[in-house]
Structures are given as structure tokens and as C-alpha cells.
Amino acid sequence: MTKVFIDGEAGTTGLRIRDRLADRGDITLIRLEEDRRKDDGARAEAYGQADVAILCLPDDAAIQAAAMAGPTRLIDASTAHRVKEGWVYGMPELPGARNAIRDAVRVANVGCYATGSIAMLRPLTDAGIVPATAPVTLTGVSGYSGGGKSLIAEFEAGTAPACFLYALGQSHKHLAEIVEYGGLTRTPAFQPMVGNFRQGMAVQLHLHADMLGGGVPGAQRLEAALREFYAGDPFVRVAMAQDRVDPQRLNGTNRMELSVHGNGYDRITVVAVLDNLGKGASGTAIQNLNLMIGADETEGLIA
């Protein structure tokens, strides 16, 4: 029986993780009463009892919690430690990542936009199709739940616009991990937006054929590289191109689907669809937890 403490269980990601672990026969949740959740003494005691703690906190609070946790194994769902030395990046699909996560004391859970971006980029940079120095452009749309409690409240009150762009200053917090683990040395242009739906996400990687490494420039070559990279993966599959892509189609699952689109010769768009609250947050946290405690990687997750 593994004892798990979720620090920040009342937040959007924490609630999803808690609900998915609540009925597990191999896990006991360590929980604090609502009036003790911000009590550092009570939190320190919970860390001391836990085999693994999951941090669902803002960045600054996650840094403080990591110091408080002592030797307890951690999964941090914030942005704080994703490119920090001493932390294993929690994206199981990357080469060698599953073994590293199994043995890790500190795991930094991959971000939602980073999940889709890296999932498209890494197979192509590893294969030499997209050069590390390529001028890559990424765009995407996410449900408003990715913005946390204040943005959720704004949309649910009907005061938010139906759709809006943000991070227009090219300083989105996921860019560092996209560069680090996507196999890039040049920071991509990235333009995210928020749509008037609660959850779901589509991320697009836009490419011109003349920026790609040698060989056949068409979509088939990219699709083949993606299929080879994810062969046998329990959650990621390569899908056929479609006329329309629904960012909400995989909601409630831990699945991610990649597809390659374009005009067949000089302009190509790769698309990743996932649930920003599932594969993009709580689902991957549980996937990482399963690896860390020796459970089946898919336990408690919809594949």
C-alpha cells in the first residue's frame, strides 16, 4: 500500500488526481482537513507520512514545498522544476524516461502545451527531419480550465470573451521545457489561445518543407517518424488527417492523438489533441506515479 499526499488537492489538477486515486486498492491518500491545508506544521507531518507527494501548487509554493518535503519522493505539477538540475522530467514517452521516472526521487510533471508540442517535435528532431535550429512555429487552443480558478470563474460568469490570444510577448512559461526536451536549440514562436470550453486542447506545429532535413519532404515521412517513435505506446497514437480537429474529442481520457496535415509538398501542420486536464496534467501525474511505485503504467487511466 503506497501512501500519497496531494498538496493542493482543492485545485483543478489536484481534484482530478484525488478523484482518480480515491478508489485505488494499492493507494492510501493522506488528507488534511480544509482548515489545516495551509498549516505548514500539518503539511510537514503529511509529507513525513507519505511515500510519494504530488504538488499541485503555484510555482513559488511548489519550491517551498519541495524544501519542506525532505526525502519524500515528489511529483511536481507546477512549472517550477521542469528544467532544474536534480529533477527528472515527467514525460514517460521520451527516450529513457520511463526508467528514469521509476528510480526518481524528484519528478517534474510535463506541462499541458508542452506535452503536445514535445510529442510532435521530439520524434522529428531525433530523426533529423526538423533541425534543432529550425525556425519552428507552434500555435494552440486550450479550454479555460488551464487558466486556473480566476479564469474559470471569469468564463463561468460569462464575462470572458468567447476566445482570446495570450502570451503575445513570446514568454509563455512552457517554452523552456519545449526547447529542452523537444530537441531544439532555437526557441520557437508560440501563440496559444483560450476557447470558451472547459477542457480539451489542440496544439499545432507548422512547418515549411524547405526547413526540413533531407529526404522526401511530404507528410508521409513525418507520419512514419511519429509512428515509429510511438509504436506500442499505451496512450499515444498517430491518427489519419481530418478536415476538422476537435480539441475536446479526447476529454476524460489519458490519450493523445497526433496527425499530419498539409498541402502535400511544401507546407505541413502536425496536430496534437489531448485533454489539458488529463494527459496534459493529472493523467500524466498518475502515469508517473504508477511508474514510481511499480504499478502498471495504465492503472487508473483511460487508454
Please indicate, yes or no, if residue 120 is contained in any of the structural domains: yes
In terms of domains, do 204 and 257 share one?
A: yes
Please indicate, yes or no, if residue 262 is contained in any of the structural domains: yes
Report how far residue 55's alpha carbon sits from residue 65's, in angstroms, rounded to the nearest whole number: 8
Please indicate, yes or no, if residue 178 is contained in any of the structural domains: yes
Please indicate, yes or no, if residue 259 is contained in any of the structural domains: yes
Q: Phi and psi (nearest 5°) for 70?
A: 60, -135
Residue 15's pLDDT is what? 95
The residue-averaged pLDDT of 209-216 equals 76
pLDDT band at 216 (very low <50, low <70, confident <90, very high): low
Please indicate, yes or no, if residue 303 is contained in any of the structural domains: no
In terms of domains, do 145 and 238 share one?
A: yes
What is the domain-level CATH number for residue 83? 3.40.50.720
In terms of domains, do 64 and 84 share one?
A: yes
The residue-averaged pLDDT of 146-167 equals 93
Please indicate, yes or no, if residue 302 is contained in any of the structural domains: no
pLDDT digits (tens, 9 = 90+) for 217-238: 577 889 999 999 999 999 999 9
Structural domain boundaries, residue 44:
2-110+281-293
In terms of domains, do 224 and 181 share one?
A: yes
pTM score: 0.96
Bridge-based pairing of strands 73-76 and 137-143 is: unpaired
pLDDT digits (tens, 9 = 90+) for 243-291: 999 999 999 999 999 999 988 678 999 999 999 999 999 999 999 999 9
pLDDT digits (tens, 9 = 90+) for 31-65: 999 899 999 999 999 999 999 999 999 999 999 99
Indicate the number of domains in the chain.
Answer: 2
Report whether pLDDT(209) > 90. Answer: no
Report whether pLDDT(178) > 90. Answer: yes
Please indicate, yes or no, if residue 156 is contained in any of the structural domains: yes
Report whether pLDDT(1) > 70. Answer: yes
Alpha helices in the chain (DSSP H): 12-21, 40-49, 59-68, 97-103, 112-126, 148-156, 175-182, 219-229, 283-293
Looking at residue 282, what DSSP letter applies?
I
> Catalytic annotation on 163?
no
Residue 88's pLDDT is what? 98
In terms of domains, do 262 and 285 share one?
A: no
In terms of domains, do 82 and 6 share one?
A: yes
Report whether pLDDT(103) > 90. Answer: yes
3-state secondary structure of 228: helix
Q: What is the mean pLDDT of the chain?
A: 95
Residue 217's pLDDT is what? 59
Bridge-based pairing of strands 189-195 and 163-165 is: antiparallel
pLDDT band at 168 (very low <50, low <70, confident <90, very high): very high
Report whether pLDDT(75) > 90. Answer: yes
Residue 215's pLDDT is what? 61
Percent above pLDDT 90 for the chain: 89
Bridge-based pairing of strands 163-165 and 137-143 is: unpaired
- Residue 185 identity (one-letter amino acid): T
Residue 148's pLDDT is what? 85
Catalytic residue among 112, 194, 258, 271: 112
Please indicate, yes or no, if residue 103 is contained in any of the structural domains: yes
Q: Are 54 and 2 in contact (CB under 8 A)?
A: no
In terms of domains, do 140 and 267 share one?
A: yes
Looking at residue 40, what DSSP letter applies?
H
Instruction: Give bridge partners of residue 74 from the DSSP assignment.
Output: 53, 106
What is the domain-level CATH number for residue 253? 3.30.360.10
Report how far residue 263's alpha carbon sits from residue 265's, in angstroms, rounded to the nearest whole number: 6
